[in-house]
Amino acid sequence: MSMKIKSPMCLKPTASIWDYLALPDQELERMDVVALNLAVLRGLEQYKDLDVERYIKTVDEWTNEFARRLPASEAFFWETGPALWKNDIRFYRMGMLQVFLGQVIGIRYIEEKRHVHCVQYTNAGDLFLNGVIDTKRGTCGNLATIHVAMARRMGWPVSLACIRHHFLSRFDDGEVVYNIECTDNEREGFAEGSDADYMKRVHLPKKAVECGSDLRKLTAREMIAVFINHRARHHQDCMRYDLCDADCSLARALCPNQRSLYEMSMMPFLHKGEKLFDPEELGHPRERCRHIYAQDYLNPHLGAMKITYVAAPKAAPKKEPVIHTIKTAPSLKTAPNLGAMKFTYVSAPQKKPPKKEPVIRTIKATRIIMNGVKNV
């Protein structure tokens, strides 16, 4: 017996993002994530005639197929022992959806972007749902979103969550919280991590969580802000800084405490300042930086800053700091867009940093949802 999916609501296919933003919060929460995501994409000239209904239908079909397979696969939950799945069928189901997307639908992370130091998103499909649905390839921006869109069709309390510039699918029903790592779906199983795991892995400060930015289930309106920020990133990488600045401003207005939106807005903001002001004017980025450092503008209550320069003895040889690149896991498959993090140590060149074990757990499940059933 298959499970019935919960059909999400959406406005007419030609509805703009402004039509959705005009809805009350309670009504907006019932709207389809696919429709919200693609409404933002349709704000780009080349996607204004996008067939939104086709993509909604595809996600409906995928979810119906998953719902058909899930009841039979849940026998594996009991066969292997609930303890492997945190004694919670909710956790198991979230993981099985990720297994379904990876093993049945065949969705993967874009290999060419996996270990790139600075990823360029000149193709908007690398960030939005049309890309991952059409090509079965994506990044954390759209891989997490497709998981969320299908989980919501199943009636589960799931939304996007941010950790720095990375995105997760987050289950939060007020009783338990589970984070699914949607970029690691090539192996037989799925990857997940607790909030503490992720904070440790990316050295996330407590302030990022306390201010309401990271590791929190986003509302529908805040997810729209994330999608608009995706569009802003596309504009930036295409060097359309004015359009990027406008999208960044809108995204911050919708989700003002989201740290990644604030960081994203800095580059177009600086470009705008360079266009509007001469170099010697206070509004110019270079002059403004000088003013901030001179006046200690960010922390006036601390008083003037004192800078002390200590000259090294002439006889002492100059020592250069050694730069070690530490990968937080042996493989970056769990979150490739986070990249390697660099720390600077003053130490002997031959001294190696201690080996760090991965903190994001991958749960193997070899015959969960696939047995005896043909791929979609």
- Greater confidence (22 vs 324) lies with 22
From residue 296, give the alpha-carbon distance in Å to each of 163, 226, 280. 29, 32, 19
- What percent of the residues of the chain are helix, what percent strand, and what percent coil, each to the nearest 5? 45, 10, 40
Residue 324 has a pLDDT of 35
Residue 259 has a pLDDT of 92
Confidence label for 299 from pLDDT (cuts 50, 70 and 90)? low
Helices 140-153 and 52-73 pack at an angle, to 10 degrees, of: 70
Phi-psi region of 274 (alpha: psi -120 to 50; beta: other; left: phi over 0): alpha
Residue 323 has a pLDDT of 40
Confidence label for 121 from pLDDT (cuts 50, 70 and 90)? very high
DSSP 343: E
Confidence label for 2 from pLDDT (cuts 50, 70 and 90)? low
Contact (Cβ atoms closer than 8 angstroms) between residue 132 and residue 142: yes
To the nearest 10°, report the CA torsion of 312, 315, 317, 319: -10
Does position 335 have pLDDT exceeding 50, yes or no? no
Confidence label for 146 from pLDDT (cuts 50, 70 and 90)? very high
Max mean pLDDT range (109-118, 294-303, 346-355): 109-118
Contact (Cβ atoms closer than 8 angstroms) between residue 245 and residue 268: yes
**Residue carrying structure tokens 């994330």:** 226
Q: Domain spans of the chain?
A: 1-279+361-376
Averaged pLDDT score across all residues of the chain: 81
Residue 235 has a pLDDT of 95
- pLDDT tens digits along 69-112: 999 999 989 988 899 999 999 999 999 999 999 999 999 998 88
* CA–CA dist 282, 291 (Å, integer): 8
* CA–CA dist 169, 37 (Å, integer): 15
Q: In sequence order, what are the beta bridge partners of 159? A: 170
Residue 274 has a pLDDT of 87
Residue 317 has a pLDDT of 54
Confidence label for 375 from pLDDT (cuts 50, 70 and 90)? very low
Contact (Cβ atoms closer than 8 angstroms) between residue 136 and residue 107: yes
Does position 310 have pLDDT exceeding 90, yes or no? no
The residues near 258 (Cβ < 8 Å, ≥ 6 apart) are: 162, 213, 222, 225, 226, 251, 252
Mean pLDDT, range 142-152, rounded to an integer: 97
Number of H helices, E strands in the chain: 14, 9
Residues in the chain, total: 376
Please state, as a whole number, how many other Cβ atoms lie within 10 Å of the Cβ of residue 178.
22
Q: pTM of this prediction?
A: 0.79
Residue 50 has a pLDDT of 96
Residue 292 has a pLDDT of 72
* CA–CA dist 126, 120 (Å, integer): 10
- pLDDT tens digits along 214-241: 999 999 999 999 999 999 999 999 999 9
Does position 364 have pLDDT exceeding 80, yes or no? no
Does position 126 have pLDDT exceeding 90, yes or no? yes
| Rounded percentage of the chain residues whose pLDDT exceeds 90 | 57
From residue 145, give the alpha-carbon distance in Å to each of 181, 228, 353. 11, 13, 36
* CA–CA dist 201, 311 (Å, integer): 37
Q: In sequence order, what are the beta bridge partners of 31? A: 9
- pLDDT tens digits along 180-206: 999 987 767 888 999 999 999 999 999
From residue 302, give the alpha-carbon distance in Å to each of 68, 230, 295. 62, 37, 11
Residue 355 has a pLDDT of 52
Residue 229 has a pLDDT of 96
* CA–CA dist 116, 108 (Å, integer): 16
When mean pLDDT is compared across 146-155, 262-271, 284-293, the lowest value belongs to 284-293
Mean pLDDT, range 305-309, rounded to an integer: 44
Does position 277 have pLDDT exceeding 70, yes or no? yes
When mean pLDDT is compared across 182-191, 280-289, 290-299, 305-314, the lowest value belongs to 305-314
When mean pLDDT is compared across 67-76, 156-165, 242-251, 283-292, the lowest value belongs to 283-292
Q: 303-341 as b/e, with b when 16 or more CB fall inside 10 Å?
A: eeeeeeeeeeeeeeeeeeeeeeeeebeeebbbbbbbbee
